Structures are given as C-alpha cells and as structure tokens.
A and B are shown apart, each in its own frame.
Chain A
C-alpha cells in the first residue's frame, strides 16, 4: 500500500466529472416526475391564522399540496430535534417552510403558490443575540421564558474548566482583554439543495440525496415518514460541494413526503436565491478573551466567553459550540482555563455546521489575541507562541492529554518557507520537551 504514498493517483470517478456523465442529483430525470416548491414564511416571526390552499390546488397542472397534516410520522427533525418539517403554527424565521405545492413543473408550482390564501399575525422578532438575552426580549420559542438553548435540562451555560483561572490571573503580571464579533456566513456550494424521491417496485421509498451525513439523516427521516428503515433506500455519494451546508436536511423530507403521498417521482430543488436567503448558515458569534501572562511570556490563565446565535432552531450548533470551546484557548500550554458558552435563539435563518465546524471561529480570535498581547508586552509574536506552544503531555481544557504535538515544528517550517530568520534559542525548542 505504501507505493501510493506521495504519488498523484487518478481521481476515483473523475472520468465522469470531466465528461459530464457523473449524475448529480439534479441530473436525475424520471418518467412522470413531478416537482415541489415550498410556501415560505413571508415574516420573521408570526402565527399562522389562516392557510387556505384550495385556489392553489385548482391551478391546472397542480397535483396536490402538502401540509403538516400529511406527515405520517412526527413533524420534527434535525440534530436538535426541534425543527418542524412544515410549520403552520408559530413561524420563527423568514423563509420557514409552511406548506408545499406539487405540480407537473416548477412554473406551475410558483403560479399556485401565489394563489395560496395565507393570513399571519405578525409578531415582533429579535435578530441580535445579545438583545435576545436581555430581560423583556421577544421570545423566539413559544412556550418558553427565555432564548437560551439548554445544553442539559436547566443548564444554559456550558462550562469547560481546567485549573483555577482566578488563581492564574492573580499570578499574572499583566491581564489583557479582547472582544471579537463574527458575522453570519453562507457555505455557497455551487450545487443548490436538491432531492429526488420515488416509490419503487420493491415497495421502498427511494431518495436521491445530497446529504453529507446520510446515516444521521436517515435517523431524522425515518420518524417523519414512519416507515421501517428497511423500506427507505437513501442513495447518496455525489455532491456538488457542501462545506457543511448539507449536514442538514433541506430537501429530502419534502421530496419524500410528496412521493409518499402522490406515489410518483418528485424532485424538490432550491434556487440559489432560496439557498442564500433561507438555508442553514455558520451562525454569528461573539467572543470575549481574557488572558493573564507573566513578564517572561508564560500564560498563566485564559478565560473565554462565547455567545453563539443559532437562529430559529438548534440544528448542529451545540456540536459546533462545544467543539469551538474545546479548542478556543489555542494550541498552548495554559494551566488555568475557563470557557463559558451560551447558544441563543433569534429569528434568523438556522445556524448549523460550516467547514471547520466552529473550531476556526475560536482559532481566529485566539491568534489575533496572541498578536495583540505580544505587541503590548513588547515581545516578538513568534517568541510568545514558541514559549507557550503545546508540548507532549500538556493538557487541554477538557483534560485531554496532548500527544504528538507539532506546533513548534510547523512554525519552524513556516518561518523557513516565509524567509523568517528565527533566533537559535527558538530553533532549539521541541514539542517533545518543555
């Protein structure tokens, strides 16, 4: 097997991609295939008072509609299990799916959607997560009294702790504080969300998916369809870019429900405009960093607070925030670390996974913070990093022991590649010993 190491190998399946024969999900066209489109919430927050689909159903070419009442199983899904498939009650973000129209083509779907009689009692939304945690802020989730996600029942702040930060700050010669704000990002894969579903001759619901994590998604889809797993055939593997966007189901549930109800092949695809406006995002983030440091450059304590805006539903934000917290102090030996994390609901599109899965949000903050500290104490930023870099045997905030540390060696290589001459005492350092 080692003969392949260091060799450029022809890409698996690559001939299909350069000849245009690879079948992406939107390339699948089946005889008699119908198309679906969702009626989306026109408001950021509100209560559906009237939903009359009869005029839409009367449009020539419309085969029928889907509402929450058509769901054989549960009308909830997602990593946090809190997202309605079709929501005809309390709308939480602009673009939230309310119902779907199924027709012979998408133009007919769009024409029918314009005929839906929808009455909504609009409510005051909240968009800024730090406003959303103030007393008296509009409540995003009906039936609750606050906008904080509970990591465990009653626990709204996730605490990761190593040593005693108060003692660490007392030992420090200087203490530095920084605040960082990260805005929302979209993954923007070139391929929009799409799904094709049909009922096959073996009495199975077949779904062609762009899912990045099919086994998680099968687990979300099964309770919606209320079918045994043996009767759902979930076909994936060809994705036109995802970057975390396709860790959440955007189309499979709707296409699957339509195929179940109408027993015909159904394609449901999002436009790029829908994708950019209403799909899952990397959520907004606010960080506060506080670091205690000795005159010789050794870090004695680091206290991090992070606030993450998950938008209207939880999705994979817990995963992203815990992962971020685990590494937010950086790849440095710090005996006293405290990370406090909160996840906040707002009336924005759902925040979930995006490449780096939350870790890079903390990493960008910590490295800017380190540069500012180095400048403030008059130390070369390379030296500050070399002094504190992880060595084998150091501990991270969740008590993991660092093994095979390579930060120092990576920095030496970086210096070499960028033509930076590092002093001998730094070049003599090794990740194998402190």
Chain B
C-alpha cells in the first residue's frame, strides 16, 4: 500500500513519519516510532489501554486512523513528565499503588489528566463516570480513584 508522510506534534516535538492509510495512531506510535507507553490490549476500542490525548482530548489510539492526526498535537504517557519531574498524577499513582500489573496505567493516566484539566475538583461519581471506559483487570479501581482525589485535593 502507498505510504504517505504524516506530520504531527508528539509530546511537544514535531515528528514526520511514513504511514499507510490503514494504519492506526497506535500502530504508528508503537511500531514505527517505538513510543510504547500506549498499550495494545483489545485493539478494538474496549479496554482503554491505548488512550492518548489528541489536542487535549482522550482518544482511543487503536480506533484513530493515523492520517487523521495530521498537524495535530498528540500526548502520550511519555509526555507527562515536565523537565524530568513526574506529573502529580504519576506521583500519586506511584506512591498509592494505583495499579498491579501496570498495563492499563498509561491509559488511565491520560484520561485522569484530561478529567482534571476540565474539572479540577471532581466528585467520586464524576471520576468513576469519566474513567468508565478504561478497564483495570487487576482491580485497582479504588486506588485509582483515591489517587485522582488526592491530586485534586492538592496533596501532590
């Protein structure tokens, strides 16, 4: 299949990469750019492990055709740290053990980041509702909710 050049902003830097029209954003990030923070779980839009921010909005990168992000801004878990400092959410997830296997964590963090940007002080129900599309098979939901609440409360 004919390849095309895709240019977009990835974690603050402009990247240009050859892609085919059928490739998803997840394919391009993981297989072509070796940005492996976003995970390939179901590859079908069900689990949320591949979630990235597209112009600040959480999207399933496995359901996003790569060519649709031309010129746009993509942020993955790799882009959360600023000048070598962990994001507050990363600190809270780490210190509060908001994961077991950690496979869902990159997706969880990106959705939580988007939530707090829109609603700096979400209620427990608002957190549950906003995070509902991201599965944690290990069952760390309580710790995830508490970590987000702790960040919202200014503990980090």
Contact = CB atoms under 8 A, between A and B. Distances in A.
**Do A and B make up one complex?**
yes
Contacts of A376: none
A17 interface: yes
Given A15-B94, A19-B77, A20-B36, A240 B31 contact: no
B103 A191 contact: yes
Q: How large is the interface on B (under 10, 10 to 19, 20 to 34, 35 or more residues)?
A: 35 or more
A189 interface: yes
Contacts of A18: 77, 86, 90-91, 93-94, 99, 102, 105, 109
A16 to B, nearest CB: 8
Contacts, number: 101
A360 to B, nearest CB: 15
B41 interface: yes
B47 A190 contact: yes
B80 A19 contact: yes
Interface string A58-83: 00000000000000000000000000
Would you call the interface of chain B mostly helix, strand, loop, or mixed?
Answer: loop
Given A191-B39, A192-B41, A272-B44, A19 B103 contact: no
Interface in B26-79: 30-31, 34, 36-44, 46-47, 49, 76-78
Contacts of A10: 94-95
Given A23-B36, A190-B104, A8 B76 contact: no
Interface residues of A, number: 30
B43 A11 contact: no
A121 B3 CA distance: 43
A241 interface: yes
B21 interface: no
Would you call the interface of chain A mostly helix, strand, loop, or mixed?
Answer: loop
A241 B94 contact: no
A190 B44 contact: no
Nearest to B147: A18
B135 interface: yes
A240 B102 contact: yes
B9 to A, nearest CB: 18
A190 B43 contact: no
B41 A20 contact: no
B102 A14 contact: yes
5 contacts: A14-B102, A20-B106, A23-B36, A240-B39, A272-B43
